A and B are shown apart, each in its own frame.
Chain A
Amino acid sequence: MPHKTFLAFIWPSLFAMILFIAIPIVSVGFQSLYVEHEQIMIEAENCGPFGCNSEVRVDREAMEQLREEQPAGRFHGLGTYTNPSHLAIDDIREIVATSENFGEIRNRIMNLPFYKALIFTLAYTFIVTPLVIVLGFIIAVVVNSIPNVLKGPVIFFSLLPMIVTPLVGSLVLFWMINSRGILGAALQSIFGDPTLSLTASPALTWVTLFVYGVWHSAPFAFVVFYAGLQTVPRDTLESAMVDGANRLERIRFVVIPYLLPLATFIGLMQLMDNFRIFEPIIGFSAAASATSLSYLIYNDLRLSDTPLFGSAAATSMLTIVGVLILLTPVLRRNWREFNRKPS
């Protein structure tokens, strides 16, 4: 396809992405290298309904002038990236130098907010992604084999975990899993342990989040696989049958290889989505036991009364880097495949 035709087809899409994603990414990257101006403070008498206090306040006029001179703030290089709230380079060095054994190093590193979040993010990504692919595949195979009349409703009900607004979905689930809720109480009686609480114990909170993640994303994998299953060449299947392959062997040697590219696609999308996990953490009030990189960003930007744009920008850039590292193996494979493709 000539460049000109290609451009004619793709420009609207490219334009939208550049304007609303690429430019913001560049500006976020830029912002992450800067910190606020040094605040000029003056002593002031503050009064309100509850009395007066001598407090400090920002000297607004002086700050305004500073901001006009240098709107971006003070250049800080990679300082924000290496500070204790992010990569905490100095802290790690100190921890490694002063700790006695590996256990202590691990515990102390896990106490650093960025690494605590990173560990959960990685655990979530690597546990949920494969489970979603496997579960989605099984559902697709089974749904594919049921009578056509039932398919519509079954597809609809299978999609429900994706359709119900996570805001309310997780609220309802949160109530179901608390120790007096239907699921929480059921688990207590199954395990015969009246103190069992899915929300109090860190380990069980992690499990709950994993289960929720699989439940919420499995429909996505299901729909894509289901679509793919419709196109598995019938003659290949039939010739496998003629060769005496049983049902399982047919799935293993014909269906799975055929759907492998699809699995890559789902894996790619899921890796990224799971790496950005944060809605369930809010929904399940799980921040005590589990935080993620996106949660840190949200915390900096939205939960905090004084938003920290630089810090959020740095965490966002680190998230992108993290996703890129995760995707490298897939990307290399794609690159090789791409080069094989005749143009």
Chain B
Amino acid sequence: MKFTTMTSATAAMIVSAGAASAACGIESGSVRILSNDFAALHAVADFAAKCESDGVEVTRNATEEHKSIQVPALTIDPATYTVAVIATNSIVPLLNNNLIRPLDDYIAEYGEQLQPSQLIKVGGETMAIAFMANAQHLVYREDLLAENDIAVPTDYDELLAAAETLRANGVMEYPIASNFMPGWNIAAEFVNAYLSTGADFFEPGTAELAIQNEHGMEVLETLKAMTEYMNPEWVTYDSNSVLPIYEAGDIAFSITWGSRAGAYLDEEGPAPAIAANSGVAAALAVGDSDIPGAALWWDGFTIASNISDEDAEASFQAMMNGVSPEMMAEHPTEAVWLIEGYEPTEAAEGVIANLQGGARPYPMLPYMGLLHTALGDNLTEYLQGDESAEQALADVAAAYETAAREAGFLN
């Protein structure tokens, strides 16, 4: 192991030395990158763009619409983009439609810097290279917890008890906030909590839904119990609306994304006193489980299949420079990098704690997106007290099955 580390570190140095002079070792080709639009991905694309030279052209398009664009853009021949930067969920349509190529040959030739954990393997073939991780976790107010003699919660029961203590002590009426907005957000919360139970969403090997059981009920009841300690406006809570509430000192616990922890802990932000008294911890477990209730996500890149081998090779090499340790050295705080030599910052502690606690990855199943949508549309009525948990799960199942039939996963 030590040996591998050494060689890859040396290799990285060689690559970077080459980057300055010979354009990352690429002779010619066109690199066209499609990605989402946020700082960490800009950093990666910037470094990939350093490979530009006389024979090598690097263009990029960072847009929030990348999910809608990627399938049509990669379907045509030659594809509009050679590199698609994706995440755990957005790789699925590319895989399903056979639009990305296996990377094993390129890794053998140019991928010395990669750690084995960065390789996303599907059925033995490496289809993507992951370079950063993300997950939800807990942000809490150290000062309030200390004043009220509360230990940092590790599961939902402890969180609810802590919230009750804060309420009973008259500190605050609604101490919790979590992204419960209907749609993608609430579904993500359900997925997080459900993963903590250790159960699977589907019958093994099939697209048959398997959440109508005691685990599903337990998760729903936990989420419902949370709403008791959340301001009734929780129906509008997403990442953007919760942060100001936390900064206003209205809540003691916020369940949020690892990528947003930096803003919570920012002592130069609008609420330095609160930021200074904030801590991050692993996501909470459900019931008796000790698995942190957070889906682990990765961001990575893929190479299109409908392009010339020359461009594919050039793209892979350019992206190797994009996700190089040098890039990470310049942007150590932009993300929880999966790149060799990463040293977690304070803001990354929550995500790292999830990893160490054995949190489970977001399922990369072809039909998971359909379930996510079905969950997002059908849980709110139960949480608002308008229908029973059984009915909510039945609605989810009905919506999922309809969609899965249309998409050809169920008959």
Contacts and interface: CB of A to CB of B under 8 A. Distances in A.
Q: Do chains A and B touch in the complex (CB under 8 A)?
A: yes
Contact of A61 (B98, B181, B368, B398): B98
Contact of B124 (A45, A51, A174, A202): A45
Nearest to A311: B406
Interface of A: 35-39, 41-58, 60-61, 63-64, 73-74, 76, 80, 83-85, 111, 113, 174, 178-180, 195, 197, 199-202, 284-289, 299-308, 310-311
Given A49-B338, A55-B365, 11 more contacts: A39-B366, A45-B121, A48-B121, A56-B365, A83-B405, A285-B181, A285-B235, A285-B238, A287-B380, A305-B372, A305-B373
Interface stretch (B37-45, B159-167, B355-363): B355-363
B148 interface: no
B402 interface: yes
Interface residues of B, number: 73
14 contacts: A35-B407, A36-B406, A41-B205, A41-B206, A50-B133, A53-B361, A57-B123, A58-B366, A76-B406, A199-B236, A200-B233, A200-B234, A300-B373, A303-B373
A288 B122 contact: no
Secondary structure at chain B's binding surface: helix, strand, loop or mixed? Answer: mixed
A304 B370 contact: yes
Contacts of A304: 369-370, 372-373
B403 A48 contact: no
B89 A305 contact: yes
A309 B361 CA distance: 28
B73 interface: no
A314 to B, nearest CB: 9
Interface in B73-113: 88-90, 92-93, 95-98
B194 interface: no
A47 B120 contact: yes
B266 interface: no
A65 to B, nearest CB: 11
Contact of A113 (B207, B377, B391): B377
B395 interface: yes
B10 to A, nearest CB: 23
Contacts of A178: 233, 236, 241
For the complex of A and B, the 9 pairs showing the least CB-CB separation, nearest first, are A305-B369, A44-B123, A306-B369, A36-B408, A200-B232, A60-B98, A288-B235, A285-B236, A47-B121
B121 A111 contact: no
B281 interface: no
A36 B360 CA distance: 30
B169 interface: no
A302 B71 CA distance: 13
Interface string B179-222: 00111100000000000000000001111000000000000000
B68 A302 contact: yes
B154 interface: no
* A35, A49, A57, A64, most chain B CB atoms within 10 A: A49
Contact of B183 (A44, A47, A57, A299): A299
A184 to B, nearest CB: 9
Contacts of A73: 408
A42 B298 CA distance: 23
B361 A48 contact: yes
B92 A48 contact: no
Contacts of B372: 304-305
Given A38-B408, A56-B365, A305-B373, A47 B181 contact: no
A49 B399 contact: no
Contacts of A202: 384
Given A47-B119, A288-B384, A308-B407, A179 B233 contact: yes
